[in-house]
Amino acid sequence: MTDILIVEDDRELSSLLTDFLRAEGYTVSAVDSGDRAIQLFERYGAKLVVLDINLPDVNGFAVCSKLREQADTPILIVSCRTDKDDKLIGFDLGADDYIEKPYDIDILLAKIKGIFKRRYQVDMICADGVTLNLADRTAEIDGIRTELTVKEFDLLTLLVQNRDKVMKKEYLFNSVWGSDSDSEMQTLHVHINRLRQKLGDDPKNAKRLLTVWGVGYKFV
């Protein structure tokens, strides 16, 4: 999974920002259109999206709304639109922050570091009897220590972090196994079934890990 996805149609600015963030140690992908951003996100995922609003095809607000439907990934809007109503629309659609252009690169970096610290330096995730310790990668289910494989742990973490959201099969697969993996989609189904067994879920009447037919899965 990419650390940061930049959605910016100003190619010079996009290139400068990409180089700067890579120098800070982040893995970065950059696109110049809303459609491409959605496609890339669905295929590879991202830990943070830096999103411009004025794009040549799909409006950035529409992109924000679409991404928020798929995952709880932080979204940082970067725009020359300074009107209060634009900012309120961005926040209403689920953006985590909004910074105006032209911006100070140090301020932008501080915001990015703050988002990563708040979101990804959490040591423990708890939901519906499931406790995941991200520091030592251990799991407890209903108070009982449960052994999970590396992929099971990564998959369950992604599902729990996006609790109550439908996660597309392709997104889950590419996020956990990688788009260049030699594995096939069937391996995702196998791991889901194994997780259900460890969660104590009846596959025909699952209570925690649900199948959304034709789309993917969600943890509730």
What's the rounded Cα separation, in Å, for the pair 162 and 140? 18
Domain count, the chain: 2
Sequence-ordered list of residues with C-beta below 8 angstroms from that of 69, at least 6 positions apart, any chain: 165
- Where are the extended beta strands (E) located within 153-220? 167-168, 209-212, 216-219
Residue that finishes a domain, picked among 83, 101, 120: 120
- Cβ atoms of 16 and 39 within 8 Å: the answer is no
Give me the CATH number covering residue 43.
3.40.50.2300
Token pair recorded at residue 133: 């310790």
Residue 59 shares a structural domain with residue 98: yes
What's the rounded Cα separation, in Å, for the pair 188 and 173? 6
Residue 55 shares a structural domain with residue 116: yes
Query: How many whole angstroms from its chain centre is CA 5?
Result: 10
Residue 152 structural domain: 124-219
Q: At 62, is the pLDDT very low, low, confident or very high (cuts 50, 70, 90)?
A: very high
Q: What is the pTM of this model?
A: 0.73
- Cβ atoms of 192 and 167 within 8 Å: the answer is no
For residue 180, what pLDDT is reported?
57
Q: Where are the alpha helices (DSSP H) in 121-166?
A: 150-161
For residue 66, what pLDDT is reported?
93
Q: What's the pLDDT tens digit per position in 200-215?
A: 988 778 889 999 998 9
Residue 89 shares a structural domain with residue 136: no
Q: What's the pLDDT tens digit per position in 78-129?
A: 999 889 999 999 999 999 999 999 989 999 999 999 999 888 877 788 888 8
Residue 143 shares a structural domain with residue 201: yes
